[in-house]
Amino acid sequence: MPYPEIIKLIEDFKTFLTLKRYSKSSVDTYSSIVNGFFNFIKLSDYKLVNSKIIEKFLTKRVIDDKVSFSTQKQIIGSFKLFFNTFLNMNLEIDYLNPERHEKKLPNVLSQNEVKKIFENTPNLKHKTLLNAIYACGLRMEEVLNLKIQDIDSERMNLKIVNSKGNKDRYVPLSHKLLDLLRVYYKKYRPIDYVFEGQNGGKYSATSVRSIYKKAVKKTGINKKVTVHTLRHSYATHLIENGYDIRIIQELMGHSSIKTTQIYTHITEISRDKLVSPLDLI
């Protein structure tokens, strides 16, 4: 555990990020990375930190822990926020960013696999929550932050408030999901958030992961999938059904079209199933 002075500094950093309107998940991630760094270097004075010490820490994470390209960039981004923006130290650490881009494609589920996951989730609240993630392509934080007033059954959409990048967006509300939400509401009567814990307040992300993991295990799916895989699958299935990538970009809340384009590469796997126009005449 870091020294008390460092712990206090990290708490102040969390407050700083919150005031800068970073999302709770970003605040937790960045502060956790900084906490892990000081736990590794065991220094009580942050002023003794330099780029070489950060390089040593990052080398361990890359070689020993085999972190991904994106995690490496996230670590560097966290340090830039903490040391340069928060503490005004102006450390030169951009050279530690990977020089080439990682080209890993996310795993996706087939529509049949998604259906099996739902069938193996008997609890109504759990089933409705997982359905909402897939039906609307939501991030974990977005589904947990969803409030009752964000559901507009007249216009058939959901309002996603203050999402990643502090942006709001609307996503279409599935008729099947609306029917499920109505049955769910009559049984559980949530007060504020759509999905609440037993004692009120937002439902736990840890509980969602546990529910999903059990359902996946029951289906016998062997590939590595997470709750976020439902969001990846949503985008992929929309592309496979002919939706324009620009529309999908808006539905996913992506700032750049390049982020959305990754799903076009996933669908390339199914191109052997395409029929030539010649064979259709």
Residue 150, CA distances (Å) to 14, 100, 118, 235, 236 in order: 28, 41, 23, 22, 25
Residue 203, CA distances (Å) to 126, 139, 196 in order: 10, 14, 5
Clarify whether residues 92 and 144 are in a common domain. no
Asked if residue 56 belongs to a domain, the reply is yes
Clarify whether residues 143 and 239 are in a common domain. yes
Domain CATH for 251: 1.10.443.10
Instruction: Tell me which of 73, 164, 209, 218 is the catalytic residue.
Output: 164
Domain CATH for 54: 1.10.150.130
Q: The tokens of 281 are what? A: 């005449």
Phi-psi category of residue 21: left, alpha or beta, with phi > 0 → left and psi -120 to 50 → alpha: left
pLDDT tens digits, 201-230? 999 999 999 999 999 999 999 999 999 999
Clarify whether residues 136 and 263 are in a common domain. yes
Is residue 101 part of the annotated active site? The answer reads no
Give 162 or 251, the one with higher predicted confidence. 251
Does this model's pTM top 0.85? My answer is: no
Instruction: Tell me which of 14, 126, 139, 232 is the catalytic residue.
Output: 139
Clarify whether residues 145 and 63 are in a common domain. no
Clarify whether residues 89 and 115 are in a common domain. no
Task: Give residue 272's pLDDT.
Answer: 54
Clarify whether residues 121 and 150 are in a common domain. yes
Clarify whether residues 119 and 69 are in a common domain. no
Clarify whether residues 143 and 264 are in a common domain. yes
Asked if residue 33 belongs to a domain, the reply is yes
Task: Give residue 256's pLDDT.
Answer: 83
pLDDT tens digits, 67-93? 888 899 999 999 999 999 999 999 999
Asked if residue 106 belongs to a domain, the reply is no
Clarify whether residues 116 and 54 are in a common domain. no
Is residue 261 within 8 Å of residue 245, measured between CB atoms? yes
Is residue 188 part of the annotated active site? The answer reads no
Of 33, 63, 96, at which residue does a domain stop? 96
Residue of 12, 183, 170, 149 whose CA lies nearest to 82: 12
Is residue 228 part of the annotated active site? The answer reads yes
Asked if residue 243 belongs to a domain, the reply is yes
Of 47, 72, 96, at which residue does a domain stop? 96
Cα–Cα distance measured from residue 211 to residue 139, given in angstroms and rounded to the nearest whole number: 16
Question: Beta 151-152 vs 157-160: how paired, if at all?
Answer: antiparallel
Cα–Cα distance measured from residue 235 to residue 177, given in angstroms and rounded to the nearest whole number: 17
Instruction: Tell me which of 116, 125, 126, 231 is the catalytic residue.
Output: 231
Task: Give residue 208's pLDDT.
Answer: 96
Query: Is residue 271 very low, low, confident or very high in pLDDT (cuts 50, 70, 90)?
Result: low
Q: Which residues, listed in sequence order, are joined to residue 157 by a DSSP beta bridge?
A: 152, 172
Asked if residue 68 belongs to a domain, the reply is yes
Asked if residue 185 belongs to a domain, the reply is yes
Task: Give residue 3's pLDDT.
Answer: 86
Task: Give residue 273's pLDDT.
Answer: 56
Mean pLDDT of 24-32: 91
Of 31, 62, 96, at which residue does a domain stop? 96
Asked if residue 105 belongs to a domain, the reply is no
Is residue 161 within 8 Å of residue 168, measured between CB atoms? yes
Task: Give residue 215's pLDDT.
Answer: 96
Clarify whether residues 47 and 76 are in a common domain. yes
Query: How many alpha carbons lie under 13 Å from residue 36 in its C-beta half-sphere?
Result: 13
Amino acid identity at 9: L
Clarify whether residues 35 and 58 are in a common domain. yes
pLDDT tens digits, 161-206? 877 767 889 999 999 999 999 999 999 999 999 999 988 899 999 9
Is residue 263 part of the annotated active site? The answer reads yes
Asked if residue 46 belongs to a domain, the reply is yes
Clarify whether residues 131 and 71 are in a common domain. no
Total count of domains within the chain: 2
Q: Which domain holds residue 178?
A: 111-270
> 95-110 burial, b for 16+ CB within 10 Å, e for fewer?
ebeeeeeeeeebebbe
User: At CA 69, angle to CA 163 and CA 86, rounded to 5?
Assistant: 55
